[in-house]
């Protein structure tokens, strides 16, 4: 079918064991390169996924005019929640209760027990209505916070740069100089909420000496879109409110992180480039020591194409082994590792896309690394190759 | 019709400003079943001639016809396929593939031919038996002596039943005892199997097994002290 016969598979496989030291070193180098690729891709995938799943398409955030870029800067009167619940027709209701969650959201200093220095944490003051609007939130340990208590997102410890034990149920935190007992932990399907600390709204207002709130999150009634809320905000100019769909809010955050992602991909390309040189070095070493052998194979009748494919097969086999080892390490050690960033925390994700990119890069390294030495060796006339030492 | 016909073969190449002519207007016929030795001083062109007959080097001018096929005009890939079927090459340094066993080394040329694995197995067993190494089939080259390695090399050269087997100093890297064995083997192959052999050698003892002894002097072929064939052709 190819028009020429390939070298036997065993030839390529056994050549890898010919210089075991060199093969092991190359395997280690390639594994490291692919592992770094996994870290970068896992970082980008984790960041993207975290922001992508954070928005609920049925939730609209109502905040102060101009506060849509950063909700920490938004300030609206506390009575807005009641006003909106009563006035808005597009909000989902059940047994007379509107799905509207007044929230005070801020970044502030948080200390855990024994901390010398506080860390910047994301704190959200909430009411029980939050559980109606934030459908993805699940209390996974402990209980909903009562007065003087705080419910901790499962990535909050990463955001604070503390160990999970520092935020265990029953431990105390200091937020703005006031003590809070950890009542439980929550998960939110990997969204940005998981990096937050939730405490009762009134308690937080009291601690912060604030009367206002940051936003009201409302759930749209089925079949309605955010336009209904937006229209209301534009009609009631006296309230100085604006509405942003929650998905839109997190999409705008993604734009802020575009340079980070670009930098991450650039780093991956540089790392992969270094990997190509590792592959090249190995194959040059391997081919230079076998020039006479390759010439012998040509004398016997194997075509240059067949020998080139054989050399690619060798390099690709080694690269594939490196990719597999790196994938296993990535899945065991990197996948799920928490990373903090300015507005929260997320976990590195080694998902199918990351595996595809990581392993694909590994195979590409083997393929690209084998070509120049193969061409160099096979460009040499057979009779010169046979004279090689 | 001769098995190998070499006509007006010249090889030239440049080295810096110098033009080197290792082979000049060579004419040679080798009959089927012949055993020919090519002797000459270093640089006399004997290996150049052998390599062009084997199809691993190309002449500047002239033709090489083997078994009715002019190989001088073949493309590189066609020439590779032709070599697999028509030429067996015995190397001075044996040139076995170190990661393959004796059996697998002998199998290499057969992988290029349309043969079933059963047919390949049969041919390999016959070839290894012919060189007296049937019991060493599973050995790697590093587990064999120099003489045994060369015998595997000979088995590899004959296993595809090629039209012509060429040897470039086949005993050049062997001790006296191994040389003796290899020479006996080559003679046996020529006599019993009718293998056509062309051997390049420095060694008069090796050349002595040949039925025809040809010398190369400064790129020209001389047999029994006179230019061969060309003179006969001119006479004709």
Work out the pLDDT band at A181, boundaries 50, 70, 90.
Answer: very high
Helix spans in chain A (H): 9-16, 20-54, 80-87, 130-133, 156-160, 201-208, 227-235, 246-256, 258-288, 291-300, 304-329, 352-379, 382-387
CA distance A280 to A369: 4
Report yes or no on whether pTM surpasses 0.90. no
3-class DSSP assignment, residue A122: strand
pLDDT at A134 over 60: yes
Nearest to B56 among A4, A11, A299 (CB): A299
B231: closest CA of chain A, how far (Å): 30
pLDDT at A159 over 60: yes
Assembly ipTM: 0.91
Indicate yes or no: CB of B89 within 8 angstroms of CB of A300. yes
Tokens of A382: 């057979």
Give me the residue spans of the domains in chain B. Answer: 31-58+74-213
Nearest to B84 among A14, A301, A382 (CB): A301
Q: In the prediction, which pLDDT does B224 show?
A: 47
Give me the residue spans of the domains in chain A. Answer: 9-52+257-387, 59-219
For B20-63, the pLDDT digits (tens) are: 888 989 999 999 999 999 998 888 889 999 999 999 999 999 99
pLDDT greater at residue B5 or residue A9:
B5
Nearest to B91 among A7, A17, A296 (CB): A296
CA distance B77 to B56: 11
Question: What average pLDDT does the segment A307-329 reach?
Answer: 92
A367: closest CA of chain B, how far (Å): 22
CA distance B220 to B45: 8
Q: How many contacts does A have with B, using Cβ atoms within 8 A?
A: 75
**Consecutive H or E run containing B49:** helix B46-53
CA distance B215 to A152: 95
What is chain A's mean pLDDT, rounded?
87
Q: In the prediction, which pLDDT does A202 show?
A: 93
What architecture is the B31-58+74-213 domain classified under in CATH? 3-Layer(aba) Sandwich (3.40)
Nearest to B99 among A15, A300, A386 (CB): A15
Q: Hey, is the C-beta of B74 within 8 angstroms of any chain A C-beta?
A: no
For B171-187, the pLDDT digits (tens) are: 988 888 899 999 999 99
Mutation for A interface: B79, B97, B127, most A CBs within 10 A: B97
* CB contact burial B78-95 (16+ within 10 A = b; e otherwise): ebbbbbbebbbbbbbbbb
Cβ-Cβ contacts under 8 Å, B156 against chain A: 300
* Terminal-to-terminal C-alpha distance of chain B: 16
Which residue from B minimizes the CA distance to A305? B77
Indicate yes or no: CB of A300 within 8 angstroms of CB of B77. no
Cβ-Cβ contacts under 8 Å, A304 against chain B: 76-77, 80
Question: What average pLDDT does the segment B161-166 reach?
Answer: 94
What is chain B's mean pLDDT, rounded?
90
B234: closest CA of chain A, how far (Å): 33
For A42-61, the pLDDT digits (tens) are: 988 888 877 777 778 889 99
Question: What average pLDDT does the segment B111-116 reach?
Answer: 94
């Amino acid at each position: 079918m190819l028009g020429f016969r390939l070298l036997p598979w065993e030839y390529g496989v056994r050549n890898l064991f010919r210089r075991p030291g060199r093969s092991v070193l190359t395997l280690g180098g390639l594994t490291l390169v692919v592992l770094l690729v996994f870290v970068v891709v896992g970082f980008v995938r984790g960041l993207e996924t975290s922001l992508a799943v954070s928005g609920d398409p049925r939730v609209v955030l109502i905040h102060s005019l101009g506060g849509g870029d950063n909700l920490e800067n938004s300030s609206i009167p506390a009575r807005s929640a009641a006003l909106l619940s009563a006035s808005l027709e597009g909000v989902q209701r059940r047994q007379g209760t509107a799905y509207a969650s007044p929230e005070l959201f801020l970044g502030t200093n948080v200390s855990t027990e024994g901390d010398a220095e506080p860390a910047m944490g994301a704190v959200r003051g909430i009411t029980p209505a939050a559980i109606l609007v934030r459908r993805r939130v699940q209390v996974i340990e402990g209980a909903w916070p009562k007065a003087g208590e705080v419910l901790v997102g499962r990535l909050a410890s990463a955001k604070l740069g503390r160990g999970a034990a520092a935020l265990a149920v029953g431990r105390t935190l200091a937020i703005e100089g006031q003590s809070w007992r950890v009542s439980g932990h929550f998960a939110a399907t990997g969204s940005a909420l998981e990096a937050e600390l939730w405490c009762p709204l009134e308690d937080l207002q009291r601690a912060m000496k604030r009367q206002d709130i940051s936003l009201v999150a409302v759930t749209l009634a089925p079949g309605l879109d955010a336009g209904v809320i937006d229209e209301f905000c534009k009609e009631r100019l006296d309230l100085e409110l604006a509405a942003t769909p929650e998905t839109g809010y997190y999409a705008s955050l993604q734009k802020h992180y575009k340079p980070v992602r670009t930098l991450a991909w650039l780093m991956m390309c540089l790392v992969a480039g270094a990997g190509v040189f590792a592959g090249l070095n190995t194959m040059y070493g391997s081919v230079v020591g076998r020039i006479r052998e390759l010439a012998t194979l040509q004398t016997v009748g194997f075509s240059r194409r067949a020998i080139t494919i054989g050399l690619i097969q060798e390099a690709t086999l080694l690269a594939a082994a490196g990719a597999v080892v790196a994938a296993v390490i990535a899945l065991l050690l990197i996948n799920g590792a928490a990373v903090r960033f300015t507005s929260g925390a997320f976990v590195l994700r080694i998902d199918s896309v990351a595996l595809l990119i990581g392993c694909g890069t590994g195979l590409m390294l083997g393929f690209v690394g084998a070509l120049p030495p193969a061409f160099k060796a096979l460009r040499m006339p057979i009779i010169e190759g046979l004279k090689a030492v | 019709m001769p098995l190998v016909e070499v006509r007006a073969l010249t090889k030239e190449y440049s080295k810096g400003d110098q033009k080197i002519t290792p082979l000049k207007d060579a004419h040679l016929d080798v009959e089927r079943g012949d055993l020919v030795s090519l002797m000459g001083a270093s640089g006399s062109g004997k290996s150049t001639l052998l390599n062009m007959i084997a199809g691993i080097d190309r002449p500047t001018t002239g033709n090489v016809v083997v078994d009715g096929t002019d190989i001088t005009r073949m493309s590189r890939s066609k020439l590779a396929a032709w070599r697999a079927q028509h030429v067996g090459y015995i190397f001075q340094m044996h040139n076995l593939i170190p990661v393959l066993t004796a059996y697998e080394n002998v199998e290499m040329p057969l992988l290029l031919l349309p043969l079933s694995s059963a047919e390949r197995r049969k041919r390999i067993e016959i070839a290894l038996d012919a060189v007296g190494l049937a019991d060493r089939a599973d050995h790697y080259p590093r587990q064999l002596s120099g003489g045994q390695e060369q015998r595997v090399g000979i088995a590899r050269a004959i296993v595809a039943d090629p039209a012509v087997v060429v040897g470039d100093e086949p005993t050049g890297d062997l001790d006296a005892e191994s040389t003796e064995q290899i020479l006996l083997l080559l003679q046996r192959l020529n006599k019993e199997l009718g293998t056509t052999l062309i051997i390049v050698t420095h060694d008069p003892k090796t050349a002595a097994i040949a039925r025809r002894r040809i010398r190369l002097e400064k790129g020209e072929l001389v047999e029994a002290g006179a230019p061969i064939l060309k003179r006969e052709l001119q006479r004709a």
